[in-house]
Amino acid sequence: MDWYVILIGVFFLLLALFAVGLPIFLSFLVLNLLGLFLLTGNLGGVLLVVNSMFSTGTSISLAAIPLFVLLGEILFRSGSVKILFNAVDALVGNIRARLYAVSITLSTVFGALSGSAMAVAAMMGSSLLPEMQERKYDRNLSMGTILAGASLAPIIPPSVMAVVLGILSKVSISALLIAGILPGILLAGAFFLYAVVRGWLNPAVAPLSDRAALPWRTRANTVVRAAPFLLIIVTILGLILGGVATPTEAAAAGCVAAVVICSIFGELRLPTLVEALRSTAWITAMIMIIMVSSVSFSQLLNMTGVTFKLVGFVTELALPLVLMFIMLQALPFILCMFIDQIALMIMLVPLYQPIITALGFDPLWFWTIFLVNMSIGGITPPFGYTLFALQGVTKGVPIQAVYRAVLPFIAIFLAVIALLALVPDIILFLPSFL
């Protein structure tokens, strides 16, 4: 059987398993066992799957995942959200498009703290969006800024998705985390600039604030109160960037610092900490079971010879590298409209890894752009999970309106991806200090 027939059949079978509602980990497990049975003619391949699952599940690199999740849970459940909101609100002041600036800044900060775009979109949609609508801000632009800021969660460290991608692609997790800082800031700045320009061109979408200006002393006190919470993230990044600690060690230090700071300056108490631990265990279990069930997927592709033949086919095309890059990034962009981001990474990374090596692309540069591309998936119609999270907490807003609201920000994402491709130093500058 030709290799491309096997590859197409594998992906269509996987998509069919997703479509019937089978959980992601069971879909990969069924596919792996079925493939090994067809290759070997018996169930002896089960031992290979079990060994792969055990080897992956006991990898020390995975320890960073529950630690980053726990860090976000502690910060979210300790009341730090309200403190940070007040600080950003005080800093922005009374300017046109003030709440757009607050929306983008807070969504970006909370995305970095929690790593969950869906959680940020749901929280901002239930807390800030009603106030924006009450003050006559444009509904679509308001929803768009919330979704755009929330979608930066996988890019700006600490990022669980970056850890998963680093493990799958065998790229330094520390470098991948640090590489996302400047692209994330660049995207947030582009979103804010777009909102301000829209407000300047059409004042009706961004009314002037009718709020009395806060005294500078009050603003300073509000910002000082929020400083300890931001210090947690700065400490984590400093430890990684300075080479003092691995991402796992830095995440552990961040959790300890979060417990201390949130107990003193926030509302963290023992029952809240127990809830954070319980939620962390649940989220981590879901991520881990997907990873250990899907890791033998790449081994299955290698056993069939599909991976090597695909690499040979791609390199023999002799297409310009620019066109190859566009094709490699266009595929996940399209598939992310229909497939979960982590599931898609597990499907594509084993195939892409030997291809980008053969083409001579810088792995850190390519996978960082790939990560940015993946982050768009959560806000891309028709099946972006972050879109559903926001629509679920709004009242009387049809999903079609949410789709329209996010389209300009998807265009901004694509423009920034093009810039990152043309100027690799935006990605590679900070990791060069590692």
DSSP state of 378: T
* Number of domains the chain contains: 1
Q: How many residues does the chain have?
A: 434
Kindly calculate the radius of gyration of the chain based on its CA atoms and give it in whole angstroms.
22
163: alpha, beta or left, given left = phi > 0 and alpha = psi -120 to 50? Answer: alpha
In the three-class reduction of DSSP (H, G, I as helix; E, B as strand; rest coil), residue 228 is classed as: helix
Locate 66 and state its tokens: 């529950």
DSSP letter for each residue of 154-215 = TTSSS-HHHHHHHHHHT--HHHHHHHTHHHHHHHHHHHHHHHHHHHHH-GGGSPPP-SPPPP
Q: What pLDDT is stored for residue 426 in this prediction? A: 95
Q: What pLDDT is stored for residue 434 in this prediction? A: 73
- The whole-angstrom separation of Cα 20 and Cα 1 is 27
Burial group, residue 111, by CB count within 10 angstroms (0-12, 13-18, 19+): buried
Q: Encode the chain (434 residues) as per-residue pLDDT tens digits.
A: 677 787 788 778 877 887 787 776 788 788 878 877 777 776 666 777 777 777 777 777 677 778 877 887 887 778 776 777 777 777 776 666 778 888 888 877 777 666 667 777 877 787 778 878 877 888 999 999 999 988 888 898 877 788 889 888 889 988 998 999 999 999 999 998 998 888 888 888 877 665 556 677 777 888 788 888 778 878 887 887 777 888 888 888 888 988 988 888 888 888 989 998 998 888 788 777 776 766 667 667 767 777 677 767 776 777 888 999 998 998 888 877 766 777 778 778 888 888 898 889 999 999 999 999 988 887 888 767 788 778 877 877 888 888 899 999 999 999 999 999 999 999 999 998 87
Q: What pLDDT is stored for residue 210 in this prediction? A: 52
Hey, how many other C-beta atoms are within 10 angstroms of the C-beta on 432?
11
| CB contact set of 385 (below 8 Å; sequence gap of 6+) | 117, 118, 340, 378
- The whole-angstrom separation of Cα 383 and Cα 385 is 6
Which residues span the domain enclosing 396?
A: 3-433
- The whole-angstrom separation of Cα 427 and Cα 266 is 35
- The whole-angstrom separation of Cα 132 and Cα 89 is 13
What are the backbone angles phi and psi of residue 146, rounded to the nearest 5°? Answer: -65, -45
Burial group, residue 300, by CB count within 10 angstroms (0-12, 13-18, 19+): buried
Locate 58 and state its tokens: 């006991």
